[in-house]
Structures are given as C-alpha cells and as structure tokens.
A and B are shown apart, each in its own frame.
Chain A
C-alpha cells in the first residue's frame, strides 16, 4: 500500500483531526532524495497500518502547507498527533534509521 496524497483541502481532516498519529512526507518531484525515501515510507506504512498513518504532501502543488509548517528542506517528515507536530525528521534516511527515529510511534 502506498502512502496517499493529502492536499491543502484535505489536510485538516486527514492530518489534524486524525485519531491516529500521522506522518506527513513533504516532498516534490524535483527532489532526488524525496524519490528515494518514498518507497521506504510506503513499506513502513504498510507494515504499521494500525499504528501510524503515512501521507504525502506535494509542496509544489500545496505551497501554503510548506509555508505553514516552515519547510525549507525536503524530504521533511513531520509526525502530527492531536493536530500538533510532535516530531520532525529532515532528509532521506535508510529504513532502519527511520524506524529508530519513529520508534515511539511504531511500538
């Protein structure tokens, strides 16, 4: 299962109002490291469907979200819980490193 796309229109409902923690992957097509980390996030998503929701925001198509969350480097991964950012990860990392960073949400 690959992570689904979220837009400025659906962000409130799908991310901020979610009961589950949501990891948002801020990405763009021109960003090489974003494309490399994307399949890894899909894997983590499908292995943890009950614990963590993983969605993608294309910053090119949703620039206001990038501004709202002060994104200046991508890939930027932000975990939202109860509408608040509770963790930020910057840059592409191997699966094991991401799992270690996200351990609190995958347990």
Chain B
C-alpha cells in the first residue's frame, strides 16, 4: 500500500508532491491524461509567480514543477481517475488504464473547470466560433471581430492576447467594473483594439454553422441588441471539480470541498484537499501552491499519528486490524466534526 496518492497536477498537486517526496513518502501523482499541468497549460505569460522577474510561460512553469516533484521521487501517472473510495483506513483510487491504487491517504488537488454560459446553442457552436482557450484558438480569428465574455484576470489576459490576431475585441461584462487586477485592467484599457461593453450579458448565440452574432441584454435597463461577431471566447470563471467526491466528502455552500479551518483536512480522516477545489476566493497559482504545501504537511502528521497509533497497539494479532480501524475511526470522527462545523459556518 502506498503512503499517499495525489490527484491533480496543477500548482497545488505538484507542490504537495514536492513536499511529500522530500519527506520520503514516495507519492504517486495522478495527473490526468489530457489535462496534465492544469489550467496554467492554457496560459501564456505568468507574471505574478514569485521568482520569475521576467515572467514565465504557464506550460514552462508547470513542466518545471513536474520536474521538481519527480526529482525527489514522485511517480507521475498520466491517467484519469474514474472512481475513489475514501472511507476507512485504505483509500482506493481507480484509474482509466493504470488499474486501482491503494493508499493510506489521498490529497485532492483537482482544481476547477471552465464555466459555461449555459445557453442553448453553446454546445452546438463549440468549436464553430465559441472557444474556451485563447492560446489554442486565437490564430483562427485573424482580422476578425470577436468578443471575450468575463471581467476577471483570465478575461483581460485573453482579450489582450487575442488582439495579436483579431482586428477588434469586445469585452462583454455584466457589471460596470472589473474584478481583474489593476495591471491587467490598465493593459486592456490602453489597447486600442479592445472595446468594453459594460452592463451586458450574453443571452443568445446565433448562427447556423458558425457563430455569426450574439444577443446581448443590458443588465441595467433590460434592452437587447444583436452584436455581429466572428468568434466568442468564454472566460466567466471556473467551478470546482468535485464530481469524484460527491456523496463522500462534505462540500461548502460555495460548492468547494469543506476543510477544517486553515487546514486541508476534509470530512474524512486521511483525505486532504488543496488548491482551487477548496478555494472559492483567491484561486491563484501561488495560493494553490501554498495550499498544496499545507495538504502535504497535514498528510505527513496524519501518517505519523497513524504510525504511532499502530506502534502502541498491543492487542493480540487477530484484533490488530479492528483496533487500527478504531483508531482511524476516532481520528475520522474528529475530522468530520470539524469539517462539518466549517461547512455549517460557510452556509
């Protein structure tokens, strides 16, 4: 049985792996098959990660994190987790092609997934003018008029990046101010190709075979207008990826995995969570990395506690398993009590 399985390969997952590997715990990290490296793989310049004064490309940063985790003995598996069983002292994690793994602890660092607009024609026109990845698809919109929906850093970064290709980029935002950082806002405001459409939300996407226009509704007076467009990039935020742990771990009212206070301890003993999957507010590469550290340290103390409990067991051999289960159960009950308290406070 392994010490720890880390699920996820963004900054949280790799940082947890670096700490766990340096603690000699030989972590295995399940990175996903097609999304290894996480959200930063679709990002261009990262300018706010300390230690890189000239900035660093998102994918380069993630390859470096992976290399650092592997240097200390992390086993990285490029596969997807299909099922987890987290109850009790032995956690099992089932993968698509690499079999079922067992471990005494699990760290969830599954991050978040792009939020969709939730419009009827969104799916139909995906890949026909609707995109979630400016770095992948900007190339196809040379000299076109396009729009980015959203008001955060990702939306500003995408809009600015897309001006390399497009002749005009509208930013559609449902409020009259942005939540993006000041530097990203300024960069977008100063870009002549970018025009802001404040207080507008997209209520319809139109086109038979490709996006031809969007229908906008003014959030102040309710009026609607049709805006002709060659493409629409959606950057309206992310939702925590918790589908694997539904019914198993407590979630908060924000939909993230509930943890005990500032720790990474979830409602089940031996199960920890880090990064965007527990964070509805900050969601930065560096906060995710820090959160990964917390998870690795919490996991280390849990394993140490477990070992101590096992060492102190002087029960006869046939009762050993039972006693161990009991010890784990009491730790589990403690964790569950504090996490549900956190969940209640959140609600």
Q: Report if A and B associate in a common complex.
A: yes
Query: What's the Cα separation between A93 and B137 when bound, in Å?
Result: 17
Indicate if the CB atoms of A74 and B137 lie closer than 8 Å. Answer: yes
Indicate if the CB atoms of A94 and B127 lie closer than 8 Å. Answer: no
Knowing A74-B136, A91-B127, A94-B80 touch, does A40 contact B33 (C-beta < 8 A)?
yes
B346 at the interface (CB under 8 A from A): no
B34 at the interface (CB under 8 A from A): yes
Query: What's the Cα separation between A70 and B211 when bound, in Å?
Result: 11
The residue that A95 contacts in the complex, of B33, B41, B137, with Cβ under 8 A, is B33
Q: Which residue of A is nearest B96, CB measured?
A: A96
Task: Give the Cβ gap from B14 to chain A, nearest Cβ, in Å.
Answer: 16
**A 75-107 binary contact with B (CB < 8 Å = 1; else 0):** 010000000000010111111100000000000
Which B29-63 residues have C-beta < 8 A from chain A?
Answer: 32-37, 41-42, 59
A72 at the interface (CB under 8 A from B): yes
Q: A28 — which chain B residues lie within 8 A by C-beta?
A: 136, 139
Knowing A32-B136, A95-B96 touch, does A72 contact B80 (C-beta < 8 A)?
no
Task: Give the Cβ gap from A100 to chain B, nearest Cβ, in Å.
Answer: 12
**B 113-142 binary contact with A (CB < 8 Å = 1; else 0):** 000000000000011111101011101110
Knowing A28-B139, A40-B33, A95-B33 touch, does A70 contact B126 (C-beta < 8 A)?
no
The residue that A93 contacts in the complex, of B34, B36, B128, with Cβ under 8 A, is B34
Task: Give the Cβ gap from B217 to chain A, nearest Cβ, in Å.
Answer: 25
Interface residues on A, range: 20 to 34
Query: What's the Cα separation between A32 and B126 when bound, in Å?
Result: 18
Query: What's the Cα separation between A82 and B57 when bound, in Å?
Result: 42
Q: B41 — which chain A residues lie within 8 A by C-beta?
A: 32-33, 36
Task: Give the Cβ gap from B167 to chain A, nearest Cβ, in Å.
Answer: 16
Indicate if the CB atoms of A72 and B141 lie closer than 8 Å. Answer: yes
B177 at the interface (CB under 8 A from A): no
Knowing A36-B34, A37-B34, A72-B210 touch, does A31 contact B127 (C-beta < 8 A)?
no
Q: B240 — which chain A residues lie within 8 A by C-beta?
A: none
Indicate if the CB atoms of B42 and A73 lie closer than 8 Å. Answer: no
Query: What's the Cα separation between A53 and B187 when bound, in Å?
Result: 46
Task: Give the Cβ gap from B78 to chain A, nearest Cβ, in Å.
Answer: 8
Q: Measuring CB to CB, which residues of chain A are less than 8 angstroms from any residue of chain B? A: 28, 30-34, 36-37, 40, 59-60, 66, 70-74, 76, 88, 90-96
A-B contact pairs, 21 of them (CB 8 A): A30-B139, A31-B135, A32-B37, A32-B41, A32-B42, A33-B41, A34-B136, A36-B35, A37-B34, A59-B139, A71-B140, A72-B129, A72-B231, A73-B127, A73-B130, A73-B133, A73-B136, A73-B137, A76-B127, A90-B127, A96-B80
